[in-house]
Amino acid sequence: MKKTLRASFLALSSLALALPAMADDLVIYSGRGESFMAPIIKQFEEQSGIKTKARYGSTAELAALLREEGGKSPADVFIAQDAGALGSTTDLLEVLPDGVFAEQIDAYRDHAKNWVGTSARARTLAYSTERVKAEALPKSVYDINKPEWKGKVGFAPKNASFQAFITAMREKDGEEKARAFVKGLKDNGARTYSNNTALIQAIADGEIDAALVNNYYLPRFKGRDAKFPVEQAFFEKGDVGNLLFVSGVGIVKASDDKSDATKFVEYLLSPAAQQYFVSSVGEYPVVKGVIPNPALGAVANPQAVAPDVKQDALSDTDGTKKLLTEQGLL
């Protein structure tokens, strides 16, 4: 028995030594999921010859980690789900060269130069094709608190995108209206879920009839199963429920490899990467000249219906968290 022990110890320690400690890899902290980002990161490696290592987590978690690490951070690049997290991290991010903003569509541009939007997404209403008729859909996001929707709606209060939507509502329609809306959700028996995927799954499973989600989750389910019994739609033109917002990327000040990091940021804005975000992820491009994704159907043209909310208006994430905490949702 001792011999086996010794042999296995030797085998394990030699394995550990064999693990190469490559300090010059480009280290990416990704607040966006692995299944969305891994393919495009791999494509970047193949085209640029630059080796990368990615660490995945929730956007807020990685933002907190960057803050704790400060100047000792091993990260070179930070990819975030939403403008709010990037906005609250700007002091840790390097100012980007003007060149990366050149092709940006105006609506997605931010005053801060520390990060750049890499893809856009819209808030939509996902609904069951089995239990909801398309003509019975609510006109405004405020209508889902009406009695006919009692107990039939789902939302994800801990999700950063839902919080961005509430921040937009506070900015556009005022603090009181936003508080009344959140309280209304609770009073109307709306059910809470952990994230967008769980919401869409819950509609298919028959737990709820409709849910407030981001536009690019449903196409993933539809891609695997064309008969998947869920569809999505926008509210009426200009409704805050159709919020259009960006995910983005910044270069960490502590980075020891800023030239490779800049190449990565530029790659995310290149036509190839933009086409990937549109065709494979189901998002919207932030630069012109990208072929739209036919699978988006009813939600293919968000700019026509989006509310007038600027990206920089979404940075008061703390106020939104306080509101949700008061309502017992966090």
When the beta carbons of 25 and 94 are compared against another protein, the nearer one is 25
- Please say whether the beta carbons of 148 and 108 come within 8 A: no
Cβ-based burial of 266 (10 A; exposed 0-12, middle 13-18, buried ≥19): middle
- The answer to whether 256 contacts another protein (rule: CB under 8 A) is no
CA atoms within 13 A on the CB side of 78: 35
Listed residue (63, 61, 114, 59) closest to 261, CA to CA:
114
Question: Smallest Cα–Cα separation from 192: which of 165, 160, 154?
Answer: 154
Which of residues 54 and 105 has its CB atom nearest to another protein in the complex? Answer: 54
Q: Does 15 bind another protein (CB under 8 A)?
A: yes
- Range 28-47, binding another protein (CB under 8 A): 33-35
> Which of 221, 255, 266, 239 shows the shortest CA–CA distance to 102?
266
Determine the distance from the C-alpha atom of residue 11 to the mean position of all C-alpha atoms in its chain, rounded to a whole number: 42
Question: Does the protein bind another protein through residue 184 (CB under 8 A)?
Answer: no
DSSP assignment of 46-95 equals HHH---EEEEE--HHHHHHHHHHHGGG---SEEEESSHHHHHTTGGGBPP
* Residue span binding another protein (CB under 8 A) among the ranges 48-56, 107-115, 251-259, 274-282: 48-56
Q: Which is nearer to another protein, 134 or 330 (CB)?
A: 330
Q: Of 43, 45, 48, 57, which lies in the binding site for another protein, with binding defined by CB under 8 A?
A: 57
- Return the number of the residue (217 or 245) whose C-beta is nearest another protein: 217
Using the minimum distance from each CB to another protein, give the nearer residue, 269 or 281. Answer: 281
CB 66, min distance to another protein, A: 11
Shortest approach of another protein to residue 236 CB, angstroms?
A: 29
* Spatial contact of 326 and 260, defined as CB atoms under 8 Å apart: no
Q: How far is the CB of 222 from another protein (least distance, A)?
A: 12
Closest to another protein by CB, 131 vs 310, is 131
Total length of the chain: 330
224 is a contact residue toward another protein (CB under 8 A): yes
Per CB under 8 A, contacts with another protein among 61-120 are 61, 63-64, 68-69, 72, 74
Stretch that binds another protein, among 58-66, 115-123, 231-239, 274-282 (CB under 8 A): 58-66
Which is it for strands 26-30 and 115-128: parallel, antiparallel or unpaired?
unpaired
Of 53 and 310, which has the nearer Cβ to another protein? 53
Site for another protein in 186-205 (CB under 8 A): 193-195, 197-198, 200-201, 204-205
DSSP string, 30-49: ESS-HHHHHHHHHHHHHHH-
Verify binding: residue 236, another protein, rule CB under 8 A. no
Give the range of 101-109, 246-254, 270-278, 322-330 binding another protein by CB under 8 A. Answer: 322-330
Which helix (H) or strand (E) element contains residue 171?
A: helix 160-173
Cα 205 to Cα 269: distance, rounded to the nearest angstrom: 37
For another protein, give the closer residue by CB, 36 or 284.
36
Closest CA to 260 of 14, 27, 91: 27
List contacts with another protein (CB under 8 A). Answer: 1-2, 5, 8-9, 12-13, 15-16, 19, 25, 27, 33-35, 53-58, 60-61, 63-64, 68-69, 72, 74, 158, 160, 193-195, 197-198, 200-201, 204-207, 217, 220-221, 224, 228-229, 321, 325, 328, 330
